[in-house]
Structure 1
Amino acid sequence: MKHATAYVVLLVAALLAPEAANAQCAMCRAVLESSGDTSVAEGINNGIVYLMAIPYVLVGALIFLVYRKVRS
């Protein structure tokens, strides 16, 4: 159970640090910064983070369901 608590703490810390999740490839950043429109760059960056997070959420939910099924 101690390991589960550590994972929850790490997950909460990662969710509370959005600056650390500033995921954008170097090419995308260069093209968007050269255009000068920061709102478009922020939108692209948010889209990348969203697309990156969905598989982790799905896998986490699957692991949780399997864990709950095994424990019962």
Structure 2
Amino acid sequence: MKRLKFALFSVLFIGLVIVNAVPAKAQCAMCTANAEAGTKNGSTVAKGLNGGIMYLLAAPYLAVAALGFVWYKKYRRKSVDMNMGNEKFHLN
């Protein structure tokens, strides 16, 4: 019963969050005006703006990938020779 209440509350909460979502402008007013004016006049300012946005989007992913690679190289399991010989192995 407790799980049912939790699931119902979760679905209701997520539904309310989705219904109350407000569209947001991601650019400042000046950037929006430049991009719109550049598109109308045939300028490449809008392409440069999009390129800058993609550059800023890719930077955190590259940083996380680099940290992950360094972590993998530093902490990966090394091959170790156990050198146990012919001794009997007792578990109890």
Q: How would you bin the TM-score normalised by the shorter chain?
A: 0.5 to 0.7
TM-score (norm 2): 0.42
2:60 is equivalent to residue 55 of structure 1: yes
Structure 2's unaligned 5+ residue stretches are: 1-23, 79-92
Please tell me the root mean square deviation across aligned C-alpha atoms, in Å: 2.4
Query: In the TM superposition, what is the alpha-carbon distance from 1:65 to its structure 2 partner?
Result: 0.4
Q: Superposition pairs for residues 1-72 of structure 1, below 5 Å?
A: 28=27, 31=33, 32=35, 34-35=36-37, 36=40, 37-71=42-76, 72=78
Higher relative contact order (CA 8 A, sep 6+): 1
The alignment partner of 2:44 has SS state of helix
When Rg is computed on C-alpha atoms for both structures, the one with the higher figure is 2
The change in CA–CA distance for 1:27 and 1:66 in structure 2 (over 3 A counts) is: closer
Poorly superposed stretches of 4+, deviation over 3 Å: 25-31
- Among the aligned pairs, what percent are the same residue? 38
Q: How many residues align?
A: 47
TM-score (norm 1): 0.52
